[in-house]
Amino acid sequence: MCLPLRWRGVAEGTDNVEDSRPLLQMTGIDKQFPGVHALDDVSLEVHSGECLALVGENGAGKSTLMKILSGVYPADVGTIRIDGREVHPHNPHHAQTLGISIIYQEFNLFPNLSVEENIFIGREPNRAGFVRRRMLREDALAFLSQLGVDLDPGAIVRNLSVAQQQMVEIAKALSLNARIVIMDEPTSALTENEATALFRIIRGLKARGLGVIFIGHRMEEVFAIADRISVLRDGRNAGDMPAGEATAERVVQMMVGRPVDELYVDHVAESIGPVVLSVRGLGRRGTARDASRVVLEGIDLDLRSGEILGVSGLVGSGRTELARAIFGADAYDEGEILLEGRPARIATPQDAIERGIALVPEDRKLQALVLLLSVRENITLPTLSRFSTLGFVRRGAERRLVERFIETLRIRTPSQNQRVMNLSGGNQQKVVLAKWLAREPKVLIVDEPTRGIDIGAKAEVHALLRELADSGVAIMMISSELPEILRMSDRVVVMREGRVAGELSRDDVTQERIMELSTGVRHDAPAA
């Protein structure tokens, strides 16, 4: 997708923004999670008849802020006002009664029920507990026609397209008398035509005096629909301006603009060796219902011994899918994987592991650890055969190996026999790393290696990855955190929509360049 160099605000319908009291006002919102200061004194305003675009990097705090607004969890500090009246949404249902409706990327619909049943689920017009079907149909039609949507209220939701399901969600929000509608990346699964139709509906909502909060990544769309743009960065307000006064470059810079000294930690790879792993023309389509969707397409990639290759891109850009394809966790449709120049048939994780590839997956609790088993049993799971005789585990040898890893990785656990579920996130992640280091892999793929772990453990994991690279391991590091990518990578590959959007050498890489490649916005002037 080639975009014009510069996007100016082209929003329509700005004329009916009333400059009176804001419809929604969030002030001084603060939220801490264990080890993370997710939101720090964040404020936000939405006026009646206005569409506000809320933008920011992955992890900037957009979702947390919206979850607080929709009552998923409470703010530690701060106030929410609707029409000037202070409210405390304490659960999503309560938020709905306050007029706040949120439409998630993953819809909350019942696929086996019809459109009308979904719109009025739990609120069906009834007589003595029996649903009044005709009234149900009429009411559903009324809301659908308000949206200008031509949809059969009796259709089963499972058979609808993603765009149509989204319309059902919006109709449901209308039927709940929503005054503020939050849309979390609503266009991510839509075609261009569908997105255009969605924008028409958003304008309709604005005309009715609703406030719309649009969470998005694509600058093109943000400028097409938003009246105002609010930028979050690292859990703080980073900027707020009318869309007409903004430019894409300025918004991107606000999204990433950290003090320069934080961005560059000097490191030069000691010795980058020959290519260990190559990916050629790798492609994969979606399965079953969305068989036409491109998951991965035409991926070419080389990974050298001794280097850390950073893989950046937005969530859903195909980074994790690429890692899983290389590791044999998911099948791919086309292309090949070469190890040390020779084609390698990798159909299962077993194949990959035998060839010296290891994967630290993105969700350690769901994909990497057996929480009920001990630290020892988890670490030795892929290496058990090495210290087994006739199928029986030699406990002494096993214990010595685990002891060594607990020491070198500084895993803080009272004993090897501690169940991993009782460890902190950072120590759990070290257990996952230890489990693969015990196999002495040639290629180590790490997917979000420091997600949800505290700063101390994070630095330790970074140091460990660097040490491994220096010892000759080829490392592919997927991360949503740009500072992590910048600090760690010898080279960066940016993915967008299942393809490699660009490659940046260590000397060229900046946050701005990565954001441009991952959002599809290009401009000439490289950021200072």
Partner 1 sequence: MVSEAAGTPARDENGRGFSTTDLLGRAAPLLFLLVLIAVLSYLEPGFRTERNMFNVLRQVSVIGIMAVGMTFVILTAGIDLSVGSVLAFCGMAAAIVARGSRSLLEGNDPGGIQVLWAALAAMGAGLLIGLFQGTLIGYLRIPAFVVTLGGLGAWRGATLLLSDGQPISGVSDDFKWWGQGFIGRVPVPVIVFIVFVAIAFVVLRYSQYGRWIHALGGNQEAARLSGLNTNLLTASVYGISGFCAGVAGFLLTARLNSAEQVAGQGYELEAIAAVVIGGTSLFGGEGGVIGTFIGAMLIGVLNNGLVILNVSPYWQPIVVGTVVVLSVFIDQFAKRRRRGG
**Segment lying near partner 1 (by CB under 8 A), choices 180-188, 202-210, 239-247, 358-366:** 358-366
Per CB under 8 A, the list member of 86, 354, 403, 508 interacting with partner 1 is 354
Angle CA(370)–CA(372)–CA(376) in degrees, nearest 5? Answer: 70
CB of 207 to partner 1, least distance (A): 47
The minimum distance between CB 360 and partner 1, in angstroms, equals 10
Site for partner 1 in 237-296 (CB under 8 A): none
- CA dist., res. 194 & res. 191, Å (int): 5
Axis-axis angle for helices 192-207, 162-175 (nearest 10): 10
- Contact stretch for partner 1 (CB under 8 A) within 216-224, 255-263, 354-362, 472-480: 354-362
Query: Coil, strand or helix: which one is 167?
Result: helix
The tokens for 89 are: 């949404």
Nearest-approach distance from CB 407 to partner 1, in angstroms: 13
Q: Are 412 and 424 in contact (CB under 8 A)?
A: yes
Among 52, 232, 369, 492, binds partner 1 (CB under 8 A): 369
> What one-character DSSP code corresponds to residue 114?
B
When asked if residue 347 is in the footprint of partner 1 (CB under 8 A), the reply is no
Options 6-14, 258-266, 309-317, 389-397: segment touching partner 1 (CB under 8 A): 389-397
Q: In the structure, how many helices (H) and strands (E) does the chain have?
A: 17, 24
Separation in Å, CA 129 to CA 121, 122, 123, 132, 133? 13, 11, 11, 9, 12
Site for partner 1 in 15-74 (CB under 8 A): 35
Please state the closest distance from residue 417 (CB atom) to partner 1, in A.
5
Q: Smaller CB distance to partner 1: residue 341 or 391?
A: 391
Q: Which helix (H) or strand (E) holds 439?
A: none
Hey, how many other C-beta atoms are within 10 angstroms of the C-beta on 9? 19
Nearest residue to 202 via CA among 187, 189, 192, 188: 187
# residues near partner 1 by CB under 8 A: 52
Q: x/- contact string, 295-334, with partner 1 (CB under 8 A)?
A: --------------------------------x-x-----
Q: Which of 106, 130, 259, 392 binds partner 1 (CB under 8 A)?
A: 392
Interatomic CA distance for residues 363 and 366, integer angstroms: 6
Which 3 state secondary structure label does DSSP give 171? helix
The smaller minimum CB distance to partner 1, of residues 31 and 355, is found at 355
Q: Which residue among 41, 456, 471, 526 contacts partner 1 (CB under 8 A)? A: 456
- Report how far residue 429's alpha carbon sits from residue 360's, in angstroms, rounded to the nearest whole number: 9
Rounded least distance, CB 59 to partner 1, Å: 20
Torsion of Cα atoms, 484 then 485 then 490 then 494, to 10° = 170
Nearer to partner 1, 460 or 497 (CB): 460
Please select the residue that binds partner 1; options are 141, 373, 397, 527, rule is CB under 8 A: 373
With CB under 8 A as the contact rule, the residue among 463, 505, 508, 526 that binds partner 1 is 463
Q: Which 3 state secondary structure label does DSSP give 427?
A: helix
Distance CA 323, CA 154 (A): 42
Residue 521 forms beta bridges with which residues?
A: none
Distance, CA of 241 to CA of 44 (rounded, Å): 12
Between 182 and 359, CB nearer to partner 1 = 359
Closer to partner 1 by CB, 470 or 503: give it. 470
Nearest distance from residue 350's CB to partner 1, in Å? Answer: 5
Does residue 391 belong to the site contacting partner 1 (CB under 8 A)?
yes
User: Which residues contact residue 7 at a Cβ distance below 8 angstroms, ignoring those fewer than 6 apart?
Assistant: 219, 220, 223, 247, 248, 521
Strands 443-447 and 357-360 come out as parallel
Which 396-455 residues touch partner 1, going by CB under 8 A? 410, 412-415, 417-419, 422-427, 435, 454-455
In this chain, which stretch among 56-64, 364-372, 480-488, 514-522 interacts with partner 1, using CB under 8 A? 364-372
- Measured CA to CA, the distance from residue 224 to residue 227 in angstroms comes to 9
Two tokens at 130? 């029996």
Residue with Cβ nearer partner 1 (260 or 463):
463
CB of 300 to partner 1, least distance (A): 25
* Among positions 91, 108, 196, 350, the unique one binding partner 1 when judged by CB under 8 A: 350
Binding to partner 1, residues 209-248 (CB under 8 A): none
- Which residue among 169, 249, 460, 481 contacts partner 1 (CB under 8 A)? 460
Does position 384 bind partner 1 by CB under 8 A?
Answer: yes
The DSSP code for 415 is -
Read off the tokens for 17. Answer: 């923004």
Q: Which residues bind partner 1 (CB under 8 A)?
A: 35, 327, 329, 348-350, 352-354, 359, 361, 366-374, 377, 381-382, 384-385, 388, 391-393, 395, 410, 412-415, 417-419, 422-427, 435, 454-457, 459-460, 463
